[in-house]
Amino acid sequence: MIHRNEDGTFAQGTNAWKRFQKGGTPWNKGLRGIHMNSDTEFKEDQYVEENHPSWKGGVQVHNKDGVYLWIGKNSRIRRARKVYEDTYREIPRGYVTYHKDRNNLNDHPSNLVAISRAELVRKNTSKKSNKNN
C-alpha cells in the first residue's frame, strides 16, 4: 500500500516513484510477439479500407492539402494528380500538379497544370511576399 500525505505527496520512505527494483526482471522479458487474448486483438485486414467503421468511400479531404484517393491497401494518391494523369499524361519526376486558381479542392482538368518543384517554390514565395506588402 502506498501512503500519501494529506497534500497528495508521497509519505517519506515509501519509494513509490521507483517502478522497478535494480536488477529486477520485467514480467514480459523474452515474450516477443506475446498474444494475451486473441478475441481482443486486431486481425490482419480487420479494419482496412471498406472494413473500417469510418470508411467514407476511399476519399480523404484535407482543407489545406487537397483531396486524397485510396488506391490500395495502405496506399493513397492526390486526386489532382490522378485527374491530371488520366486526362493528359503521366507527370514527370520532379514535377507536381498546381491549381491555377489556388483552390486545392478544385480538381477540374482545366484548372490543373504540371510544374517543376522549382517553379512551385517561385510561385509560393512570390505569393507570400505579396501578402506581406
Residue 61 sits in a domain of what CATH number?
3.90.75
In-domain check, residue 79: yes
29-61: pLDDT as tens digits? 888 877 778 787 777 777 766 777 777 778 888
Q: Which of 12-16, 85-89, 101-105, 106-110 has the lowest mean pLDDT?
A: 12-16
State the residue range of the domain holding 107.
49-132
Q: Position 25: which residue type?
A: T
In-domain check, residue 68: yes
How many domains are there within the chain? 1
In-domain check, residue 5: no
CA distances from 58 to 45, 73, 79, 105 (A): 16, 11, 11, 16
Cα 94 to chain center, whole Å? Answer: 23
Res 41: pLDDT: 79
Angle at 15 between CA 12 and CA 25, to 5 degrees: 170
Res 51: pLDDT: 74
pTM (two decimals): 0.57
In-domain check, residue 33: no
In-domain check, residue 38: no
In-domain check, residue 87: yes
Q: Buried b / exposed e across 102-131, counting CB within 10 Å, b at 16+?
A: eebeebeeebbebeeeeeeeeeeeeeeeee
In-domain check, residue 26: no
Of 77, 131, 124, 76, nearest to 98 (Cα)? 124
CB 74, CB 48: distance < 8 Å: yes
Q: What does pLDDT average to over the chain? A: 81
In-domain check, residue 65: yes
Q: Can you tell me the distance from the alpha carbon of 30 to that of 33, in angstroms, rounded to the nearest whole number?
A: 9
